[in-house]
């Protein structure tokens, strides 16, 4: 309420000032200039407000998109240590990755384990192909089981 009164006061003061100056120096109608100035200020205020709203909305959307993209790149599914429910958690190497389970609400600590392995290079040879299907191995084991029984 106070904000509306303040805005209307500023609008009236500016309109009064412009109308007085135009009336005094250019002999224009005081009421006409006052109304015109008030309407122009209202229109400019509406455009400015709409622009700020649009800008903040698009900025918020962009931030959300960046956050989701970052989350998709750095997040992983991990089971809760208490109830075993899978949780989507962000994993960062620079900070604690503790999380609260979405199912039971318990706090879980996350330990990141780094494993190293040798890189392998595929050989440039023909892939193996099966030329003989020897099914006697499977039959031998089944016959041994039959002998025990
Ligand atoms: Zn849980």
Residue 66 within a domain: yes
Q: What are phi and psi of 80, to 5 degrees?
A: -70, 140
Residue 144 within a domain: no
C-alpha of residue 101 to centroid of ligand 1, in Å: 5
Range of the domain at 40: 2-73
C-alpha of residue 104 to centroid of ligand 1, in Å: 4
C-alpha of residue 98 to centroid of ligand 1, in Å: 13
- State the pTM of this model: 0.47
Residue 40 within a domain: yes
Q: How far apart are CA 149 and CA 16, in angstroms?
A: 110
User: DSSP assignment of 38-68, as one string?
Assistant: HHHHHHHHHHHHHHHHHHHHHHHHHHHHHHH
C-alpha of residue 68 to centroid of ligand 1, in Å: 23
pLDDT digits (tens, 9 = 90+) for 56-69: 999 999 999 998 88
Residue 111 within a domain: no
Residue 23 within a domain: yes
pLDDT digits (tens, 9 = 90+) for 70-116: 877 888 899 999 999 999 988 887 888 899 999 999 999 998 888 89
Residue 13 within a domain: yes
Residue 87 within a domain: no
C-alpha of residue 69 to centroid of ligand 1, in Å: 26
Residue 79 has what DSSP assignment?
A: E
Residue 27 within a domain: yes
The distance from CA 71 to its chain's CA centroid, rounded to whole angstroms, is 8
Q: How many domains does the chain have?
A: 1
């Amino acid at each position: 309420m106070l904000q509306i009164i303040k805005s209307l006061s500023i609008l009236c003061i500016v309109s009064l000032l412009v109308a007085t100056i135009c009336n005094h120096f250019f002999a224009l109608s005081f009421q006409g200039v006052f109304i015109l100035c008030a309407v122009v200020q209202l229109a400019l205020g509406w455009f400015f407000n709409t622009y700020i709203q649009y800008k903040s909305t698009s900025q918020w959307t962009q931030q959300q998109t960046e956050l989701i993209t970052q989350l998709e790149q750095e997040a992983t599914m991990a089971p809760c240590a208490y109830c075993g429910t899978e949780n989507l958690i962000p994993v960062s190497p620079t900070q604690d990755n503790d999380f609260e389970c979405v199912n039971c609400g318990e706090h879980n600590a996350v330990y990141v384990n780094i494993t190293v392995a040798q890189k392998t290079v595929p050989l440039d040879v023909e892939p193996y192909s099966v030329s003989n299907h020897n099914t006697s191995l499977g039959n031998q084991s089944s016959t041994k089981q039959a002998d025990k029984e």
